[in-house]
Structures are given as C-alpha cells and as structure tokens.
Homo-oligomer: A and B are copies of this chain.
Amino acid sequence: MSDTAISEQDQAGRPGLRERKKRLLQEAIEQAALKLFLQRGYEQTSIQDIAEAVMISPRTFFRYFPSKEEVLLGPTRAVMRAGLEYLRTLPKGQSEDEATSMALRAAMLHIAHLYQQQRHSFLLRYQIARQIPSVAAFYLYALLEAETAFCDLLQERAGGAREYGQLRLLVATHVVALRVALERWLDEGAEGDLQALVTSYLEELH
C-alpha cells in the first residue's frame, strides 16, 4: 500500500504500472462514490454499490478506504495535513505569543487557499456532511486531530515555554475560526473569498 522497499520505478523515477493502476483505481472509486452519493444519497449508497460501480469486490474497496466516511472526507484530512506541513516549513521565529499567532494564522490561510483551489469538490462533500451526522462527526474528529497535531508541533518548537492549556486554546480558536468561515463560505456556494473571511474571523478573535 505504501512505498515499496526498493525501486518499482524506471530510471526517471516514474512510478511503475502497479503504482499507476492503484492511483487510478483510488481515483475511480472516489469518483464513482461521489456520483452515487449525489444520485441516490449517501446513506442509500452501500459499499457494495460503490464496488460494483468500479467492478471490484467490496473487500478491495476496504483496501483503498477504511470507511465510507473516508472516501468523502479524505481530501479534507489531506488539506489539514498540508496545513500542518506548511506550518512545519515556517521559520521557527522566536515562538513568542505573537509569533505563534502569526504562524497559526498563516497556516489557516494556507488551508483556506487549498480549499479554494478545490471548491467544487468540497462544496459537494460539505453538503453531504451537513446532512449526515456520522459524516459531520467524522469531520469534526478530523479537525480535532489536526488541532492536536498543530499543538504538538508548536509545543515542541517552543520547547515547553508555553503552558499547554493556553496553547491548546489558541490553536483551537484558530481552528474554530477556520471552521466557521468555511461553513459560511460553503453555505454561500463557495463563491466568495475564503481567505478574506478567515482573516476577518481571526481578526474578530482580537
């Protein structure tokens, strides 16, 4: 599933046939799933249905996605991970209160940027997440995971200078501002400027 121990690429470093097929199938599963979700609804679509649509066995579906929720919200989790990586690349700064806020803000804006790049995809996914509690819950858990990861990273950087609870609150409020901005942006058809919205909500936190 992950990278093979050695090679399986040609000299130029291109992925081999196996790898390419895997990516293609993953993409196909996701697209078929979204199409079915849209057509008959999320809950009315079984994994069996999705598997049949791409002519694989249900067992194989689970080798690509651990759950139906992950098909829908994998990209959301990916965006949050990307935000974390972005934060990691940021210069360490002095890690004073001010610097931490700035870094967090930059990370949130980066995530907002990624959402904007794939607005159509997220618009659809979000419309489902609104209606289906299990999906909404999964989404919130993804945010919590991200929050924890952000905290851990910042904590490590600051060398324990800051009290964990305070840091957690700081991160959590930033994530909340992102979430509320996102909700509003998607509610309005994802046509506005998400980054501006995030900025204004972050401002409002003082």
Decide if A176 touches B169 in the complex (CB within 8 Å): yes
For residue A170, give the distance in angstroms from its CB to the closest CB of chain B: 8
Q: Identify A173's interface contact among B143, B166, B176, CB under 8 A.
A: B176
For residue A123, give the distance in angstroms from its CB to the closest CB of chain B: 18
Taking CB as reference atom, which chain B residue is nearest A140? B140
Taking CB as reference atom, which chain B residue is nearest A206? B206
Q: Identify A140's interface contact among B141, B169, B177, CB under 8 A.
A: B141
Digitize A158-180: 1 where CB-to-B-CB distance is under 8 Å, 0 elsewhere. 00000001101100110011011
The answer, yes or no, to whether A137 is at the interface (CB within 8 Å) is yes
List, in ascending order, chain B residues with CB within 8 A of A184's CB: 165, 168
The answer, yes or no, to whether A201 is at the interface (CB within 8 Å) is yes
Q: How many copies does the complex hold?
A: 2
The answer, yes or no, to whether A204 is at the interface (CB within 8 Å) is yes
Decide if A172 touches B176 in the complex (CB within 8 Å): yes
Q: With the chains together, A123 CA to B176 CA distance in Å?
A: 25
For residue A206, give the distance in angstroms from its CB to the closest CB of chain B: 4
Decide if A169 touches B204 in the complex (CB within 8 Å): yes
The answer, yes or no, to whether A78 is at the interface (CB within 8 Å) is no
Decide if B137 touches A169 in the complex (CB within 8 Å): no
For residue A105, give the distance in angstroms from its CB to the closest CB of chain B: 15
List 20 interface pairs A-B (beta carbons < 8 Å), by A numbering.
Answer: A133-B141, A136-B141, A137-B137, A137-B141, A140-B140, A140-B141, A140-B143, A140-B144, A165-B180, A165-B181, A165-B184, A165-B201, A169-B176, A169-B180, A169-B201, A169-B204, A172-B176, A173-B176, A176-B176, A206-B206
The 7 closest A-B pairs by CB, nearest first: A140-B140, A137-B141, A137-B137, A206-B206, A172-B176, A165-B184, A169-B180
